Each structure stands twice: as structure tokens, then as C-alpha cells.
Amino acid sequence: MKNKTVFVCSECGAESPKWSGKCPECGAWNTLVEETVVQKPEKTAKKISSSDFSAPLKLKEVTGKEEVRISTGINELDRVLGGGIVKGALYLVSGEPGIGKSTILLQLCEKLGAEIPILYVSGEESPKQLRLRADRLGVKKDDLYLLAQTDIETVCEQAAEQNPGLLIIDSIQTMNHESVASTPGSVSQVRECTSALMRFAKSKDIPVFIVGHVNKEGSIAGPKVMEHMVDAVLYFEGERNSEYRILRAVKNRFGSTNEIGVFEMTGEGLKEIGNPSAVFLQGKPSDISGIATVCVLEGTRPIIAEVQSLVAPTPFPAPRRVAVGFDYGRANLLIAVLEKRCRMFFGTSDVYINVIGGLKIDEPAADLAVAAALASGLKDFVIPDDTILIGEVGLAGEIRAVTSLEKRVAEAKVLGFKRAVIPKRNRTDFHTDIELIPVDSIKDVFNLI
């Protein structure tokens, strides 16, 4: 058995023989850490190959157990999962420290049917700490078992013996596999522990939730290292200073990846927000320039949000461009389109764009609203409060068609909007009470307003 050292990127898991400041694979800086690779003893190597995926089977020979879904009892979570938890699936719940990963999993324990026993393994908190949190969240579940353990093989043995309906591992970065020499949290440990859990989930047909930390730097392996191994990856997002949390599926073998779940963090835990649009529009200022309303589709759900821009003169030769919740490159593109096609000049102004509520918009249909917010900020005119703007902006300044216009308009109607500026290229053979204003180019929009 010979040990060798390699340098492993904690961001993407790429290995290289020597250290460098930048990962050659993913381009992240300062993520390469030295790790000792222990050649695997024969025993473990055999264990994997003789597992239950042995001989090839004909497709129709595979016993067709139907995919069983267990509802989590939390609507927003079910939506993101694609309808509920699938038996034997491996889920990764990821997000920055303190965002609410442990909270949602503990709440899941309470909501998941009383008849399903759960094993919650924590390598981070003592059972006492967990108990305190459970009390605060009002979790009273009877057969919820807490296990403070970091040795992954012991965890799998215990779990196999207890045979719970759900296994929760909080967190993968604290787990340790004996056959790996490096410290918990390192890329090889995280990989090995995840694959142990995968074998456990598939062979026992028990769903497993794994918490994975996101750590911007340092030697802790990020969730990217595990993403390809698990069945679904759920990401918790949110701004530090906002109480809203958005749960997003970035990978899902059992459902769409576009769905989001919206929650509010309170003292009693995460509360579901069934109607995010109303929340994101709360406190929207009226009669102020630089503000526009947009309707984006998140999966199957239309969400209305407020886009703010601030265009302020600057004495400096290189003005600032800041975009929060909107793609930076796209923002610059829209500024360029406004300059070239509408003769609106931002060259001597700082430009800030912000999407309210910690929402991240990455849909072309939001272009028109962002462009309108920018123009309104620059020229200091107010976009009427009851008007929503939907459309993609092309480089020629043309307004391009968007998908599911009817759904977006319907959501705007529900929230009390009276007018919708929409692409002329979209078909409008549906009925709505809202006044539709079809536009062809970005110039038309400003002539209108």
C-alpha cells in the first residue's frame, strides 16, 4: 500500500500533481489543497463490485416497482422535489452557513407522516442542541432518533439495523471514512462518504438527505464534488439581511429543475410562502423613478417581482455597474442597447440594479422591465404603478416573444395590475381583463410611457 499526495480542488474536485494558485479545471482561485491518497485496501474494492448491481438485466426483466413518492407535508418543498421524496433517492441540501439547512430538515421530520421513523445523524451539533432547536421549531415527533456520530460506516450500520423511513446526514463535511487518510471535509473524504451513503440508499431503498456546506474558500470540499453522485441537489438561497429563503432544485433526476420554493425565516422556523408575488411586491414605492415590475416564470409558477435601478451621476471616469439578482453581463448589454437604439447615455453615471426580495432573475422575459427601470432611472420618469412589463430585448432593440404569456398576464391580474406591456410578436388569443399593450421595439415603449 503506497500513499501519494495530490492537490485536489475543493470547489470541483479536480486533481493535479502540483500546486497552483488557480484550479486548471474550474478556474477557481486558492482552492487546491494537498491530500494524501491512500490506495484502497483490496477488501473495500471487492465490496463495491459485488454489490447488488451485478449481472446485466434486460430492461423488461427489471422488476417494475413503481416510483413511490412520499409527500413531505411541506408544499413548497414537495414542489421543488417534483412531488415528494422518492424511495432510495439521495438528496443533497446545500447552502451557505446559517441559511436554514438544519432547520428545514428538522421541520421536515415533523411534517413527514407520523408513521415514518427518521434517523437524524448530526456531526455538528449535540443531541441537546438539536433538542433545543426542535423545541423552538415545535417539532414533537415521536420516533425521531438523534445520533451524534461522524464515522460513516457506523452510521450506515446503525441505520441498517434501525431501518428508518428516512436518513438525514448533517453534514457530509463532518463525516469520516476510515479507509481515507485525509481529514473530514476534504474532497476524498466527502467523495467516499457520499458513495457509502449512495450504496446504503440504493441497497436499502431508504431515502437519504445529505447536508452539504458551501464554503467560498478554505479546504472544505464544496457541494460540486458531490453533485454528480446524488439524485437531486437542492440549493438554499437568500440574502443575508432578508428573511426570505428560496429553495431551488439545480439537479433533479425525479422532476423539473426549474421549480422554486419560497420560505420566510422566523423564530419558529421556516414558513411557507404560497404566494411569493404578493410578498415581493410588498412595500413597493410608488411615484418614484427607476422602478419597474416584471413577471418571471420559475418552473411552472409565475412570480412577480420589483426591479429597481439607481442611475446616479459620477465624477469618476469609470462609472460603476452593479447588478444584484440580475446577470451582470445582461445588464451591460441592456445598457448598450439603450445607448445605441434609444440614445440614452449612461457613460457618466453609476448604475445600480437590484431585484427585491433576494430573488435571482435569469430569464430573458425580464429584459424589458430591467431596461425600463434603467431608462426610468436615467430620465427620471415614473413607470405607472399598475403596469407590468414583459418581454425579451434583442440587440436591435426589438422586443421578442416570451413563453407562457397568458400565465404571466393572469398572475398580474390576480395582483391587481391594470396594464401589461407585452411583445407584439406574442399571440394574444386568450381572454384577459387587463389592458394589453403590444410593443415592437424598445423605442415604442418609451414613446408610450
- Residues of this chain that interact with Zn ion (CB under 5 A) are 9, 11-12, 14, 23, 25-26
Around 387, how many Cα atoms within 13 Å sit in the side-chain half-sphere? 19
State the Cα–Cα distance between residues 318 and 441, nearest whole angstrom. 30
Q: Which is nearer to ligand ATP, 144 or 295 (CB)?
A: 144
DSSP lists the bridge partners of residue 121 as 147, 169
Residue of the chain from 102, 277, 309, 376 that contacts ligand ATP (CB under 6 A): 102
By CB under 5 A, the count of residues binding Mg ion is 1
Q: Which is nearer to ligand ATP, 11 or 35 (CB)?
A: 11
Binding partner of residue 357 among Zn ion, ligand ATP, Mg ion, none, CB cut-off 5 to 8 Å per kind: none
Of 100-108, 177-185, 226-234, 271-279: span binding ligand ATP (CB under 6 A): 100-108
Q: Is 98 in the site for ligand ATP (CB under 6 A)?
A: yes
> Measuring CA to CA, which residue among 287, 290, 285, 319 is closest to residue 379?
290
Q: Which segments of 121-186 does DSSP mark as H helices, in order?
A: 127-137, 152-162
> Measuring CA to CA, which residue among 10, 46, 4 is closest to residue 28?
10
Distance of CA 84 to the CA centre of its chain: 17
CA torsion, points 415, 419, 420, 423, in degrees to nearest 10? 170
Are the C-beta atoms of 251 and 233 separated by less than 8 Å?
A: yes
- Torsional class of 88: left (φ above 0), alpha (ψ -120 to 50), beta (otherwise): left
- Residue 277's H or E segment, with its range, is helix 276-281
Interaction pattern, residues 191-220, with ligand ATP; x per rule: CB under 6 A? ----------------------x-------
Interaction pattern, residues 105-124, with ligand ATP; x per rule: CB under 6 A? -------------------x
State the Cα–Cα distance between residues 398 and 364, nearest whole angstrom. 13
Q: Which is nearer to ligand ATP, 232 or 388 (CB)?
A: 232
* Binding residues among 254-273 for ligand ATP as defined by CB under 6 A: 265, 267
Q: Which segments of 12-143 does DSSP mark as H helices, in order?
A: 42-49, 75-81, 101-111, 127-137
State the Cα–Cα distance between residues 166 and 283, nearest whole angstrom. 41
Residue of the chain from 31, 72, 94, 102 that contacts Mg ion (CB under 5 A): 102
Of 102-110, 319-327, 370-378, 434-442: span binding Mg ion (CB under 5 A): 102-110
Binding partner of residue 38 among ligand ATP, Mg ion, Zn ion, none, CB cut-off 5 to 8 Å per kind: none
Binding partner of residue 272 among Zn ion, Mg ion, ligand ATP, none, CB cut-off 5 to 8 Å per kind: none
Q: Which is nearer to ligand ATP, 236 or 280 (CB)?
A: 236
- At closest approach, how far in Å is the CB of 129 from ligand ATP? 10
Q: Which is nearer to ligand ATP, 191 or 213 (CB)?
A: 213
- At closest approach, how far in Å is the CB of 196 from Zn ion? 23
Q: Which is nearer to Zn ion, 191 or 301 (CB)?
A: 191
- Torsional class of 81: left (φ above 0), alpha (ψ -120 to 50), beta (otherwise): alpha
Q: Is 240 in the site for ligand ATP (CB under 6 A)?
A: no
- At closest approach, how far in Å is the CB of 20 from Zn ion? 11
State the Cα–Cα distance between residues 158 and 302, nearest whole angstrom. 44
Name the site residues for Mg ion (rule: CB under 5 A): 102
Name the site residues for ligand ATP (rule: CB under 6 A): 95, 97-103, 124, 136, 213, 265, 267
